[in-house]
Amino acid sequence: MRKYIIISFAVVSLLAFSGLYCRNKMDKPELNKIEIQKVSIQRYEQDLFRIPIDSLQELLKHLANKYPLFIGNEYDNPASLLQMRQYLNDPQIIEAYVQACKTFPSLAQIEDGLTEAFRYIHYYFPSWHPPKSVYSYISGYDLAEGIFIDDSVLIIPLDNYLGSNFPGYRTIGIPKYIAERMTPDYLIPDIIKTIAQQFLPPFPVDGALVDQMIAYGQLLFFAQNILPKTPPYFLMGYTAEKYKWCQDNEKEIWSFLLNQDLLFSKDKSIIMKFIQESPTIQGFPKGSPGRIGQYMGLRIIESYARKHPDKNLKEIIQEEDYAVLFNQSGYKPR
């Protein structure tokens, strides 16, 4: 059984809410030396919706050569053709596609942002290779598994980033606190956080609250270093106001976790309260966002990185002994 020690070391104060926040000093990436092929996103949704419904089978056969991952040999399958017709005629799907064309008339900015991020990843993890093919599509608002990546393919659901005020989100009942981050600014951070899971240890599903906090902290710390120019609230999946609330109340959050003896709890309801999606934390003051445990986990990892400037990013995010990370972080709120 892991043993934790709560240590009260003085640590460097967090910088004010200006977008400038602490990072580990051990790495100074020289991206000009990193050769990565420029990301090019193939727009499956545009090619698909250009097909006339009355020529669906014939034209899908031609499109299958370009998008085998999406179509394969299903153009000869009557059940699959029926399903495709229903998809292309679905009013909500059509609405999402039309808005995607307006919100993303070009994906050049996304391509440039991903190209730079992939350079950072390759700098820290030289054996990593970017996906060979990148596709955009309309997922039907698949929030759980919309972004997909493996060793060779990255698939991006544009309909999950159409703007917080997009009417389609209200129509299907997506909560406001989730819709507010369904904007283009969160697309690249979400992709990078999905890629991060390729490098992290297995998630401590049965671990205590502090274990899961730190595991999320490792993921977010990875994203910080791969997207150093991105404001931290985008990486957290917060609005600027919610992120600032966490900064302003960090000491009170930490005191609550300690005084209520919650850090080492394995109670699923307690863990869900502080880790999982929610509009706010029940019992906390107005303005508190959900997932506060993830935010605090990042602070612990940041503190550990400052205390161990000899550790590189790979060593920090792949450390599986959460007790070591916690005990040697010397974390103390500003």
Average pLDDT, the chain: 90
pLDDT band (50, 70, 90) for residue 32: confident
Q: Are 225 and 120 in contact (CB under 8 A)?
A: yes
Question: Strand ranges (DSSP E) for the chain?
Answer: 41-43, 133-137, 148-149, 153-157
**Average pLDDT over every residue of 121-146:** 94
Cβ within 8 Å of residue 38, ≥6 positions away: 111, 115
Nearest to 89 by CA among 63, 56, 61: 56
pLDDT at 14 over 80: no
Is the full-model pTM beyond 0.75? yes
pLDDT at 211 over 80: yes
pLDDT at 2: 38
Write the pLDDT tens digit of every residue in 231-276: 999 999 999 999 999 999 999 999 999 999 999 999 999 999 999 9
41-43: strand order across its sheet: 41-43, 133-137, 153-157, 148-149
Nearest to 68 by CA among 153, 130, 147: 153
Residue 6's φ and ψ, nearest 5 degrees, are: -85, 115
